């Protein structure tokens, strides 16, 4: 910000959205001097696009305006990479992308092929103006000329979500025992710019949750199949003897397989994983609807899951719940206490997907001994993971600039 006049000027920055703060937000600028304004995006801002006109008020009796355009993106999972030099054979597919029956027009969406969890090809979307459509031109690699089967995944950049079991019309389907996979055939090409294959993503999401050696508090916001044993749900882990998963009242330990009283994982609950080395837990399923997935809260300690698909401030997340003075909510790294005068206060400000929580419920007076916690679908202001950094803007003319940018967030949130 520049004061090019010969007068001292008072200033304040107004009309800031909830996801953006300015420092300093107000002050006095001496004649012929500059002031750096640091704009910081809130650590809870969700993946998505944001626009806001913010105003600089001064003694000149009119506001200078600054248009802020921000797109927050989530980093790709680390296993979305392939080295073509590792493979002898390739096939090709030209296709368009539909997500829940809506054709994608997002150039940041990606399509990938996987064989046994290993990436065998990846492509961005490219705009084809002659057909007014975005298409993916994907090379898929193998060391077998035929007889290998791959699964298609889709990265939805607008939500930072990975879809698996993506359907593709026209490709050779694998035998029934490899349901949802397609056959690799060397030197074949499927689709064309005029007649692209349709990569169709349904609601089957895959989440890749990093676990560190030691204890991890985790929960899941995808439907979990209770008919499949814990060994199946945790098959992607490279478990070692002595690794453990425990709930509030039961647990299982790994020997050559998982054994114990914990038979399956549920989205309503939090689980503590104790593992011997860093690993990644992969879970798949349909997104849970928080509005139809109540969580029972009883007197004392409760180990609770978090079912929304986005991060939500603690006040919004618990907005339908009636806490008591002294109730405590804690994650593995932060906590907050409920105070009748202050509300929720502490270091825990947002609840995040895949994180687990402990709630100490202290009913008082006529408060019920059991309540049901029902999370909202999202908060009043969309929130999400922590940014890698903050955005700084120092205009060379008095505040009449436009901020535009794309920012990556920690892939683990």
* Cβ neighbours of 225 (radius 10 Å): 12
Residue 218 bridge partners (DSSP): 271, 355
Low-confidence ranges of the chain (pLDDT < 50): 381-413
What whole-number distance in Å separates Cα of residue 36 and Cα of residue 23?
A: 9
Predicted local confidence at residue 73, as pLDDT: 86
- Correct CATH for 84-205 of 1.10.10, 3.40.50, 2.60.40, 1.10.3720: 2.60.40
What whole-number distance in Å separates Cα of residue 107 and Cα of residue 125?
A: 5
Architecture of domain 2-74+387-409: Sandwich (2.60)
Predicted local confidence at residue 224, as pLDDT: 82
Please state the domain extents for the chain. 2-74+387-409, 84-205, 207-285, 290-373
Predicted local confidence at residue 91, as pLDDT: 98
On the question of a common fold for 2-74+387-409 and 84-205, the answer reads: yes
Predicted local confidence at residue 380, as pLDDT: 57
Nearest to 143 by CA among 117, 115, 108: 115
Predicted local confidence at residue 413, as pLDDT: 39
Q: Quick one: 333 exposed, middle or buried, by C-beta within 10 A (0-12, 13-18, 19+)?
A: exposed
What whole-number distance in Å separates Cα of residue 224 and Cα of residue 253?
A: 20
pTM over 0.85: no
Q: What is the pLDDT of residues 32-51, one digit of tens each?
A: 999 899 999 888 888 888 89
């Amino acid at each position: 910000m520049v004061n090019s006049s010969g007068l001292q000027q008072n200033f304040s920055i107004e009309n800031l959205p909830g996801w953006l703060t300015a420092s300093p937000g107000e002050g006095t600028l001496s004649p012929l001097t500059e002031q750096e304004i640091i704009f910081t995006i809130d650590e809870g801002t969700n993946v998505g696009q944001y626009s806001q006109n913010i105003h600089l008020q001064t003694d000149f009796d009119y506001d200078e305006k600054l248009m802020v355009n921000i797109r927050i993106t989530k980093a790709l999972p680390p296993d979305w990479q392939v080295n073509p030099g590792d493979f002898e054979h390739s096939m090709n597919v030209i296709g368009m992308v539909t997500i829940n029956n809506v054709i994608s027009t997002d150039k940041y969406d990606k399509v990938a092929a996987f064989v046994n969890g290993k990436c065998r090809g990846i492509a961005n979307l490219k705009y084809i103006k002659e057909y007014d459509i975005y298409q993916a031109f994907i090379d898929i690699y193998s060391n077998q000329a035929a007889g290998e089967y791959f699964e298609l995944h889709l990265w939805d950049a607008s939500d930072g979500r990975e879809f698996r079991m993506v359907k593709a019309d026209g490709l050779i389907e694998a035998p029934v025992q490899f349901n949802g996979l397609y056959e690799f055939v060397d030197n074949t090409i499927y689709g064309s710019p005029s007649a692209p294959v349709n990569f169709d993503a349904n609601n089957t999401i895959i989440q890749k949750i990093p676990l560190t050696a030691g204890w991890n508090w985790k929960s899941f916001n995808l439907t979990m199949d209770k008919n499949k044993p814990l060994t199946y749900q945790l098959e992607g882990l490279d478990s070692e003897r002595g690794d453990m998963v425990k709930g509030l009242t039961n647990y299982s330990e790994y020997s050559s397989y998982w054994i114990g009283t914990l038979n399956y994982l549920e989205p309503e609950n939090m689980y503590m994983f104790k593992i011997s080395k860093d690993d990644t837990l992969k879970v798949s399923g349909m997104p849970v609807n928080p509005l139809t997935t109540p969580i029972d809260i009883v007197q004392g300690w409760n180990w609770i899951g978090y079912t929304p698909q986005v991060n939500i401030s603690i006040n919004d997340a618990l907005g339908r719940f009636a806490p008591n003075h002294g109730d405590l909510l804690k994650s593995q790294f932060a906590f907050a206490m409920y105070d009748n005068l202050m509300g929720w206060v502490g270091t825990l400000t947002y609840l995040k997907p895949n994180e687990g929580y402990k709630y100490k419920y202290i009913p008082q007076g006529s408060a019920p001994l059991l309540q049901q916690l029902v999370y909202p679908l999202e908060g009043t202001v969309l929130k999400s993971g922590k940014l890698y950094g903050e955005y700084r803007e120092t205009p060379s003319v008095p505040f009449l600039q436009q901020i535009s940018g794309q920012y990556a967030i920690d892939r683990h949130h």
